Amino acid sequence: MFERLVRPHNRNTLAYASILDAEGDDDDDDDDDDNTRYYTGVKGNSRDISPSLRRAFSKALGAQNSYIPATANSTNRLTTPGASYTTSAVHEGNSGIICKGSNAPFSIVDILEFSNNSGPGRMDIFWFVVKRYRKATGLNTDPYAKYPHLKAKLWDTELEDDIEVLPLSSVQTHFAKCTVPIQGINYTVVVSLDRSTPV
């Protein structure tokens, strides 16, 4: 148990560890091919996939968008082996994510769960509805750029208006953030919590 709690990639997952301990961490669980367990928060009613969400899925899936379901279950939290995710309305810290192949930070505004093997593209069950942070403007240079080992970068405090969707499998890490005033303007400093991912 202690080994699980001190590993860096298990940060913020005490709830997951408690659940496993309560149920018994059974290595012979054959329910899933990869022995992966997911725990969601209280589900709301089934949510219709709106036109804006459909456009976001079409953009995310590209040529794979042959099938986009009409509805999905909406939840405010998702706990996976190694990480917990929530919407920004529940917990801002667990709603900040950085994805593979993107240097932009995102904020989770909703979590969608599709029934097994019926998700968009028939690949992922869990999808995040996100908004991307706007790029910082009004500065000639990012003062954190000279300290690459900090993995910090300035962003605007506001999010983009458009929503995007990201599959759970695309998430690289969470990030920490704080607001700092520079030359009379507030900016958000984003710091990746993954030692190998720049922001």
Question: C-alpha distances in angstroms, 172 versus 20, 35, 48, 102, 103?
Answer: 23, 20, 28, 9, 11
Q: Is a pLDDT exceeding 90 seen at residue 38? A: no
Percent helix, percent strand, percent coil in the chain, to nearest 5: 25, 40, 35
Give the 3-state secondary structure of residue 62.
helix
* N-term to C-term CA, the chain: 32
Percent of the chain with pLDDT over 70: 68
Average the pLDDT over 92-96 and give the result.
Answer: 92
* Cα(30)–Cα(43) distance, integer angstroms: 25
Residue with tokens 């993954």: 194
Task: Say what the pTM is.
Answer: 0.75
Residue 33 or 62, more confident: 62
Q: Evaluate if residue 164 carries a pLDDT over 70.
A: yes
Contacts of residue 141, defined as CB under 8 A and 6 or more positions apart, other chains included, come to: none
Structure tokens at 18: 């408690």
Position 161 scores a pLDDT of: 96
